A and B are shown apart, each in its own frame.
Chain A
Amino acid sequence: MSHQLKNRGEEGGGTRGQARSGSLGTGDRSRRTPSMKRTRPAEKAPSRHRSQPGQKERAGGSPGSSSPRRKQAERRGRRELLGDRERGSAEKTCGGRRRKDGRASLREQRAPSKKEKEARRKEEMWKQLKKHRSSSMASSTSSGESLSEEELARILEQVEDKKKLIASMRSKPWPMARKLAELREAQEFVEKYEGALGKGRGKRLYAYRMLMAKKWVKFKRDFDNFKTQCIPWEMKIKDIESHFGSSVASYFIFLRWMYGVNLVLFGLIFGLVIIPEVLMGMPYGSIPRKTVPRAEEEKAMDFSVLWDFEGYIKYSALFYGYYNNQRTIGWLRYRLPMAYFMVGVSVFGYSLMIVIRSMASNNQGSTSEGESDNFTFSFKMFTSWDYLIGNSDTADNKYASITTSFKESIVDEQESNKEENVHLTRFLRVLANFLIICCLCGSGYLIYFVVKRSQEFSKMQNVSWYERNEVEIVMSLLGMFCPPLFETIAALENYHPRIGLKWQLGRIFALFLGNLYTFLLALMDDVHLKLSNEETIKNITHWTLFHYYNSSGWNESVPRLPLHPADVPRGSCWETAVGIEFMRLTVSDMLVTYITILLGDFLRACFVRFMNYCWCWDLEAGFPSYAEFDISGNVLGLIFNQGMIWMGSFYAPGLVGINVLRLLTSMYFQCWAVMSSNVPHERVFKASRSNNFYMGLLLLVLFLSLLPVAYTIMSLPPSFDCGPFSGKNRMYDVIQETVENDFPTFLGKIFAFLANPGLIIPAILLMFLAIYYLNSVSKSLSRANAQLRKKIQALREVEKSHKSVKGRATPRDSEDTDKGNSKNGTQLTKEGTAHHPASQSQTLDQKAQGPGASSSARKTVLLASQHLPVSRAPGVRPDSGQARPQVHPWRSTSGKRAWRPPH
């Protein structure tokens, strides 16, 4: 025991160094406990696995590194189990305790920040103790780690001493402060080592605490592993990233994020609207709005009808029209209309919040890094391989990812060095923008035209399949052909691919937006038409019902059966129509995407791959070749689709469910398609660090899709005979109703007060002021940030220029001297300015030397060179260049003093 402690004192952090040694035990202990031997092979296996040369500690990150780590953790766990069992057995000697201690301190090393302090305190204590207890103990430090009986006895003695000291503290003629300090120290010591010695009250507590600490660390590690494993599709995405670069991976990360958001929306809508309605609402067929009308009944189950979301699907909980305007449903007295409204609002609220939050967190991430631009290639070249990789698949992936990252850097590099004809570029860019604007206008008009036509078709009776689906087809075709066209035009512009991607995204976004808005306008026309017809239908319904019940002049005694719900004439329910329209669009969009992938990517890849054997030219390198992954199109498809979900989910609660399915399938399908039939981009480029551009577009779409929904809710009257708000003047009346009926009156008053414009306008003003203030604060902060960065850059420049000046100033009598100079210059400037932590070892040395720093550089090199013969076995090639570096400092020291820079 004492021996180990001594080592602590001596080797400093050697405490931790002892860790494993403790667990493996020493000769005499293993002799004492034969069970150890049996466990050793199990322990040895991992150690063998891990003690391979050249292994590197890595914090994970690379695809390959996670699995070996996991394995390690498992093994470690096993070892710990073994250890515990052992300790549980009769072994309560100090050896066992050393084991524990050792392992615990191993943990300490892994979580140094927390536990280091403790270890250090122990050491200090021990050092003091050493001072106290003369030098007799220092002699026994040397060989052998086992605790002799003698040492054990010594510790025992010390503990006793301390105890005595505690007991007699009162009578000591010391000042109070010292007494207190001594007392505390002694108590700590006793507590620590009494338990260790297997004696006294502290033993169990000690063992327990050790056990818990160990368990906790292990748990934390396992939990971390678990968390990594829980990230869905992480491996797939890493795989893609390593082959296709971070830009393609950024799409999949975005897709995954979107899936998460949609899951939450799905949970909201299904949990609070659809499931309560299905469980507690009136069943199908009970009232007219929940029944298929008589005229449609025959074909209501046909697939072609269902495919159009007509028939039974139209009269189901997936659409707005199915819900009843009963204030409360079921025995829970669940206020469904209220819930429906609130969920509709909170879908938008949650989406806004999550988008903005992730944008903000992305921003934070991007400011913290961004410094390591200086030695990109050196870093990649010297440190990219992960030495923990022991699996050939992983190694292949790593090769791919290294290659990709090199390619990314090359593209960045080329772009930054490019020089071009400014006027030509400008002209081409203007031209390209002009062409693209023409395309956009054309496609917008086309959509408007088609929508107008489809309204005419909808009034006719016998329309063909094409005529019914014309809008969807045209929009999908536009979505298919415009982006490649834009891309071709954008080739004129000659942007860096990353910026080019942004432009491309913006343009396709405009295209989609135009499409979306013409679509919406057409839809609005339709809605207004239906609304204007509503009055007449309402009258007809009333009249029919009235007539039905009153015309029964012939048999007064028998009460008439109520009119079957299917026979009741009803309005067109524009809300459901809107919902159906969105539903159709989503599904057709999904299908078109998948078919495009199948045809455009997979079949093309198959064709190229297999017809290449018997074709006149090289298909793979020549014309069709393999497809590249279309990042911009896919990202915008996703965003646009999400916009439709946001707009449509109020009128078709089931839309989110379909979207979740869509995202799920497209994740797998696209992952497969990318890996199987796409090739990496010709110029693989690094994605910008945050995909805030995607998020910005998404936010814009979210805002835009909020507008029509808010408009319909606020200013259109709901249908009179369908949906949860039927019978009300406006949809938001449901809130007023709830406040009036369900809340105490004073709350109602408060609400009324809050809704007072006199209060709202100042509140809005206040918000504007707050926004202005925060905005200016953040601006000034970012300016300060940029300035600091510039300062660092400038320092570095100064450093470099110093060196070069020096290099030029010194006479170049020989190459060697020259080199030596600049090297020393490096160190000197380091001494003066950049006290970077990485140069610690050198600067430490220099500080230790004090003012005689001129020899410090020499010393560093000397130390290194002294070591050389050690690191290589005797008999090195005597003339190999290794010996040379030692020479420089001596030769150049004089020169160095002469040109010491004035820091």
Chain B
Amino acid sequence: MGSRSSHAARIPDVDSIRRETGFSQASLLRLYHRFRALDRTGKGYLSRMDLQQIEALAVNPLGDRIIDSFFPDGSLRLDFPGFVRVLAHFRPVDEEEDGNRDPKEPEPLNSRMNKLRFAFQLYDLDRDGKISRHEMLQVLRLMVGVQVTEEQLESIADRTVQEADEDGDGAVSFLEFTKSLEKMNIEQKMSIRILK
């Protein structure tokens, strides 16, 4: 590593990234190390392949979706600011930070809403703001595989839609999604302790 990478100043645009994501300098530094470690060939950005190497993502049924969320608009390159921005969703929430926040500022990336939005995106394949029954079925197939009959899968999907759907359009919108996960402790579950 050497002194080269251990210095925060090496990270491009440190200050703007910090302001935007709320990461501390040191976490940024660590993320930067991580970023560089993932970037095996030293090309300065990450490709899909790089992320697919991660083991936990490889066994995750939604792994591809997660990787997709790092490449928002079909781009093939993930630069460091983008990387940090996605990870900022997982920064633990600080209540006091919330309290002190200037109401005019945009909501921080790690707010409950943004965390939920991130999760929502994983399921919303076509990005139309709704999780349709079809999208749900796809996720289910990923999650339970062939052990459950198609019929049962459909009944699960139907039930899920039925539970969450409030306006009767046969799909789960973001607000409905929020509502159905109201009781989940999203702030805690979608936080990674080390990403301060």
Interface of A toward B, CB cutoff 8 Å: 10-14, 16-27, 30-31, 37, 40-41, 44, 47-48, 50-58, 106, 109-110, 120, 123, 143-145, 372, 374-379, 381-385, 387-392, 394-395, 399-400, 402-403, 406-407, 409-410, 413, 800, 803, 807, 815, 818-819, 822-823, 826, 836, 838-842, 844, 848, 860, 863-864, 866-867, 870-873, 875-877, 880-882, 884-885
Contacts and interface: CB of A to CB of B under 8 A. Distances in A.
B41 to A, nearest CB: 17
A882 B73 contact: no
A560 to B, nearest CB: 83
Given A51-B30, A841-B112, A867-B109, A383 B181 contact: yes
Contacts of B140: 381
B106 A410 contact: no
Interface of B: 1-3, 6-9, 14-15, 20, 22, 24-27, 29-31, 33-34, 37, 51, 54-57, 59-62, 66, 70, 72-73, 75, 82, 85-87, 89-90, 92, 94-100, 103, 106-107, 109, 111-114, 117-119, 123, 126-130, 136, 139-140, 143-145, 147-148, 152, 155-156, 159-160, 163-164, 166-169, 172-175, 177, 179-186, 188-196
5 contacts: A11-B96, A23-B26, A410-B152, A840-B112, A881-B128
A860 B189 CA distance: 22
Nearest to A807: B167
A867 B30 contact: no
Contacts of A37: 1-3, 6
Contact of B163 (A19, A53, A378): A378
A57 B73 contact: no
A672 to B, nearest CB: 22
A52 B130 contact: no
B73 A873 contact: yes
Contacts of B183: 372, 375, 836, 838
B196 to A, nearest CB: 4
B152 A407 contact: yes
B175 A21 contact: no
Contacts of B123: 382
Contacts of B60: 54, 385, 387, 389, 395
A51 B140 CA distance: 27
Nearest to B114: A867
A41 B39 CA distance: 17
A18 B8 contact: no
B3 to A, nearest CB: 7
A823 B1 contact: no
B97 A873 contact: no
Given A374-B163, A413-B159, A867 B31 contact: no
State the majority secondary structure of interface residues on B. helix
A13 B95 CA distance: 7
B155 A410 contact: yes
A848 B168 CA distance: 32
Contacts of A381: 136, 139-140, 143, 156, 160
Nearest to B164: A378
B156 A406 contact: yes
A51 B160 contact: no
A52 B148 contact: no
Nearest to B113: A864
B181 A395 contact: no
A31, A54, A867: residue with the most chain B Cβ atoms closer than 10 Å: A54
Contacts of A143: 14-15
B181 A378 contact: yes
Q: Which of A17, A27, A822 has the most CB of B within 10 A?
A: A17
A14 B144 contact: no
B26 A21 contact: yes
Contacts of A870: 20, 85, 106, 109
B184 A838 contact: yes
Given A20-B24, A41-B1, A53-B87, 7 more contacts: A23-B26, A53-B66, A382-B119, A383-B189, A800-B166, A823-B175, A838-B182
B34 A47 contact: yes
Contacts of A807: 167-168
B6 A57 contact: no
A385 B34 contact: no
A862 to B, nearest CB: 9
Contact of A13 (B86, B97, B180): B97
A898 B62 CA distance: 43
B188 to A, nearest CB: 6
A22 B24 CA distance: 10
A143 to B, nearest CB: 6
Nearest to B184: A383
Nearest to A375: B180
Contact of A378 (B2, B15, B86, B180): B180
Residue from the set B24, B103, B112 with the largest chain A CB neighbour count within 10 Å: B24
B25 A21 contact: yes
A384 B106 contact: no
Contacts of A378: 160, 163-164, 172, 180-181
Contact of A51 (B87, B126, B172): B87
A47 B87 CA distance: 14
Contact of A11 (B94, B166, B184): B94
B127 A882 contact: yes
A864 B180 CA distance: 18
Contacts of B34: 47-48, 51
B21 to A, nearest CB: 9
Given A11-B94, A819-B167, A822-B166, A871 B182 contact: no
B8 to A, nearest CB: 6
A252 to B, nearest CB: 22
Contacts of B127: 877, 880-882
Contacts of B143: 381, 384-385, 399, 402
Nearest to A880: B127
A50 B87 CA distance: 12
A278 to B, nearest CB: 55
A389 B24 contact: no
Contacts of A54: 56-57, 60, 62, 66, 90
B86 A882 contact: no
Contacts of B3: 30-31, 37
Given A145-B25, A823-B173, A50 B100 contact: no
A364 to B, nearest CB: 21
Contacts of A30: 3, 6
Nearest to A68: B56
Contacts of B118: 871
A256 to B, nearest CB: 27
B166 A826 contact: yes
Contact of A872 (B73, B173, B174, B188): B73
A18 to B, nearest CB: 6
A57 B160 contact: no
Nearest to B190: A56
A30 B192 CA distance: 26
Nearest to B179: A826
B19 to A, nearest CB: 10
Contacts of B186: 838
